[in-house]
Amino acid sequence: MEVMIMIKAVIFDMDGLMIDSERVTFEGYQHVLAKKGLTMSLDFYKTLLGKPLIAVFNQFYDTYGKDFNVEDTIEAVHQYISDIFENDGVPLKKGLIELLKYLKAHNYKTIVATSSQRYRVNRILQLAKLNQYFDDSICGDEVTKGKPDPEVFLKSCEKLNVKPHEALVLEDSEAGIKAADLAKIKVICIPDLKYPDPEFIKMTYKIMNDLLEVRDFFNQD
């Protein structure tokens, strides 16, 4: 537990880590593409996870052709997800609230660091009633380079006024793991749809099953 004594701040990814959005997003792509007479495999969808927007666009062009309208497709999928969240609520990951309550009670600084756009992040945090647990947030439209570039995590440390070795990142994606590694910030991975490949496992401090396990890890004597 010596390592955890140094930790002053916890940096949270959002999609796939805090909210169970990856499955809903995959359903959204299937729904939108079906209207175009197209399909998407789960394996292809997994290649999109945690990637910066330009990489996502290129993946689509390589698979569906250069004339494929990626922007409209993503917008339609976001609308699909938004409708689900507005009507059914935001599906939170197991242990999220328990972990956030623990961190707040023990005076850890917290921030959301995500590739998602600001308008979407604000709405999700509002719908899920999570704003009270976070000191700040930084979004994809507020950095020049997306994960696996470390910019979003380094800026998170700046916002919270902590040094990288005083922070801990919670991530589910390989791109997020690599970004944390490049930022020289310890990262705990809680895998979602895709378990990280061995090269990324080596970059993690620990891999855990859920956020409740993370809470219990902090709570060790």
Question: Is 173 in a helix, a strand, or coil?
Answer: coil
Strand partners, 136: 111
Provide mean pLDDT across the span 64-85: 94
Query: What percent of the chain shows pLDDT beyond 70?
Result: 97
Give the pLDDT band (50/70/90) at residue 209.
very high
The CATH number of domain 22-88, selected from 2.60.40, 1.20.120, 1.10.150, 3.40.30? 1.10.150
Q: Tell me: domain 2-20+92-218, CATH 3.30.465.10, correct?
A: no
pLDDT, position 1:
53
Is pLDDT of 2 > 60?
A: no
* pTM reported for the whole predicted model: 0.90
The CA distance from 176 to 169, in Å, is: 9
Query: What are the backbone dihedrals phi and psi of residue 118, each rounded to the nearest 5 degrees, phi first?
Result: -55, -45
- In tens, the pLDDT along 96-109 reads 999 999 999 999 99
- In tens, the pLDDT along 143-184 reads 999 889 999 999 999 999 999 999 999 999 999 999 999 999
Give the pLDDT band (50/70/90) at residue 47.
confident
Taking CA atoms, 64 is separated from 22, 59, 70, 75, in Å, by 21, 8, 9, 17
Domains 2-20+92-218 and 22-88 share a fold: no
